[in-house]
Copies of this chain bind each other. A is one copy, B any other.
Amino acid sequence: MPQPPLVLLTDFGTRDAYVGMVKAVLARLAPESRHIDLTHAIPPGDVCAGAFTLWQAHEYLPCGSIILAVVDPGVGTSRRAIALRLPNGFGVGPDNGLFSWILGPGAPVEAVELDPARLTPGALSATFHGRDLFAPAAARLANACGLADLGAPLAEIVRLPPPRLEAIPTGLRGEVLWIDGFGNAVTSLGRLRAAGEAYEFNPAWQDHRPRTVRASALRLELPSGVRLPVARTYGEVPPGEPLAYVGSSGLVEIGVHAGRADQRFNLSPGQTVTLHIEG
Chain A residues engaging chain B, CB cutoff 8 angstroms: 2, 5, 7, 9, 12-21, 23-25, 27-28, 31-32, 34, 36-41, 44-45, 53, 56-57, 60-63, 65, 73-77, 125-128, 131-132, 180-182, 194, 232-236, 245-248, 253, 258
A242 to chain B, nearest CB (A): 15
Q: Which of B15, B32, B73 is A258 in contact with, Cβ under 8 Å?
A: B73
Contact between B76 and A233, CB atoms less than 8 A apart: yes
A34 to B5, CA, bound (A): 12
Contact between B14 and A57, CB atoms less than 8 A apart: no
A135 to chain B, nearest CB (A): 9
Q: Is the interface of A mostly helix, strand, loop or mixed?
A: loop
A-B residue pairs in contact (CB < 8 Å), sample of 7:
A5-B24, A12-B181, A13-B181, A14-B14, A23-B37, A126-B232, A126-B248
A3 to B45, CA, bound (A): 36
Q: Which of B45, B57, B131 is A17 in contact with, Cβ under 8 Å?
A: B57
Contact between B126 and A233, CB atoms less than 8 A apart: yes
Please provide the 3 A-B residue pairs with the shortest distance between their CB atoms, ordered closest to farther.
A76-B233, A128-B248, A77-B235
Task: Decide yes or no: A232 and B76 within 8 Å by CB, A17-B53, A246-B126 being known contacts.
Answer: yes
Contact between B24 and A36, CB atoms less than 8 A apart: yes
- Chain B residue with minimal CB distance to A63? B28
A127 to B128, CA, bound (A): 37
Q: Which residues of B contact A39 (CB under 8 A)?
A: 14-17, 20
